[in-house]
Amino acid sequence: MKTAHMLNEPGFLVYATLMETPVRQMIQECPKDFTPSVSIAGCEYLVDYGSRVKGRFHRVNKYKECSCGDPHCPAIDAVRSYLRAGGVRAPDPVRMPPCPICGGRTTRDRNWDGKYTHELGWRCENGGIRHFLQAKTEHIKQNIAAHPWLIPPVPGYPGVRREDVITWEECEEMNHRKFLETGYDPTQ
């Protein structure tokens, strides 16, 4: 048996039970003065509009910014009403460290979280994502300098260093030099 949600008329929500036999319906009236539920999720407020609304969940932070990007989102007013009615305040967020490039304020950006390194993504107020990527590049360069081995040496095997591996450009240049010296073209 499957259940489907359908909007029949304004103010009524129809729950249709899909069976091989004829469809049975149960009509439940939705209240006109619906107020979304507000709860705390981390350092933000989670506003739930219910399953009948597309874009069900909205996250509102302490700076009165909604996750949907709309500066006049009704979720901000719902949080305001929740707090005026004596609701519990969300904890203050942990401050992000300053930008290592310019020293400016940083804000969290979950789109740039490290999947394997588990490092937090951020954006700088001055340089944006560019400063994040510059800092990440410097971190990678330092890591490569500290660990030059692709395959570390073990007794009986000398290992492979990064500079031992050639790129396709270097390989093409070597083949071109060999062609100029001997006249032999391995590609033909």
Pick the range with the lowest mean pLDDT from 13-22, 55-64, 153-162, 167-176.
13-22
- DSSP symbol at 66: B
C-beta separation of 109 from 118 below 8 A: no
Which residues are within 8 A (CB) of 16 and not within 5 positions of it... i.e. 6 or more apart? 3, 4, 6, 23, 24, 25
Mean pLDDT, the chain, rounded, equals: 81
Host domain of residue 13: 1-33
User: DSSP string of 121-151?
Assistant: PEEETTTBHHHHHHHHHHHHHHHHHH--EEE
- Rg, the chain, Cα only: 29
Does residue 27 share a domain with residue 43? no
How long a stretch of residues is the chain? 188
Domain assignment of residue 124, yes or no: yes
- pLDDT, tens digit (0-9, with 9 covering 90-100), for 48-65: 988 877 788 999 998 889
Closest CA to 107 of 128, 92, 136, 89: 128
Q: How many domains does the chain have?
A: 3
Determine how β-strand 44-48 pairs with β-strand 24-29. Answer: unpaired
Does residue 79 share a domain with residue 43? yes
Does residue 66 share a domain with residue 47? yes
Domain assignment of residue 92, yes or no: no
Decide if pLDDT at 145 tops 80: yes
**Which single residue is written with the structure tokens 């395959």?**
151
Does residue 27 share a domain with residue 65? no
Domain assignment of residue 78, yes or no: yes
